[in-house]
Amino acid sequence: MTHAVPCADSPATRLATRLAFFVSGFGMACWAPLVPYAKARLDIGEAVLGLLLLCLGAGSMLSMPVAGVLAGRIGARPVILVGGVGLCCAMPLLAGADFSLLLALALALFGASLGAMDVAMNIHAVEVANDAPVPLMSGFHGLFSLGGFVGSLGMTGLLAAGLAPLTAILVALVVVITGLALAAPRLLRTRSAGSGPLFVVPRGLVLLLGALTFAMFLAEGALLDWGAILLVGLGAANIVPVLFSAAGRQGTMPANLAVAAVTTVGYAGVLAGPALVGFVAQGLGLVTAFVILGVLMLSAPLTALWFVR
């Protein structure tokens, strides 16, 4: 049996969910403007930098399934807050790490914190949205994008104004801490009775939703590194919240594990997208690679039509 305080459908919990999405997007975006500074500070080449960046993805992929299990057992709120604390610890290290191993550890912590927050806040969002009379998931995910825009623009502006990377990240940290402090007392306090399984192999509809999310995020990851066609990102942005909502509503497996599975598979697409497009572009050309991405993105609406029929 699950106990929730405050009520899932309330202005307070909606605000808390929006703040969690904003903080996650904001924190993630703060790293991108710091990449050239980290490269120069460590005096490393592109190959070493690429290996270091894999630590971010590895941290995310490892933490996401664990976050889903924990959110089911102790609730999404503590997982969101612990992820936020990890984010606050990692951000100064990203700006100040002066040797490769420290940066690798900082990126792993950064990725793990963002991954845990991402899964938990989507589980929290599903709980809130399921009790709401109007659709909310797209708005929640929109706050993630807004946070990313504000974070990248703000960090770039601070660095352009002459602030040192560590000083700029400390300013950004004030935004993250403020957002978490405002969200914390308003997040749902849910706890599972603990009778459910710790792990369930994804199956049925969850596998399909994971595959569709993988396709959407693969297109997004490819777009980040290979394209300037903004409509691709716009299309994926509208579809992904619907897939997360469906994962939370299905009855094949527990909602927390389903959301974690779909999120993990989806973000595998973000990591795999640029590399896969590169291989296809090498053999068939970049235009062909993007045509294939377009076909993959069509899989979501075509599947929706199949369900409706």
Q: What is the mean pLDDT of residues 85-111?
A: 94
Q: Which of 69-78, 194-203, 224-233 has the highest average model confidence (pLDDT)?
A: 69-78
> CB under 8 Å to 209, separation ≥6 — which residues?
243, 246, 247, 250, 258, 262
Confidence at residue 289, expressed as pLDDT on a 0 to 100 scale? 72
Q: pLDDT tens-digit profile of 221-259?
A: 555 544 433 334 444 555 666 666 666 566 566 666 666
| Domain assignments of the chain as residue spans, ordered by start | 7-188, 202-309
Q: Which CATH class is domain 7-188?
A: mainly alpha
Residue 104 scores a pLDDT above 90: yes
Name residue 191's beta-bridge partners. Answer: 3
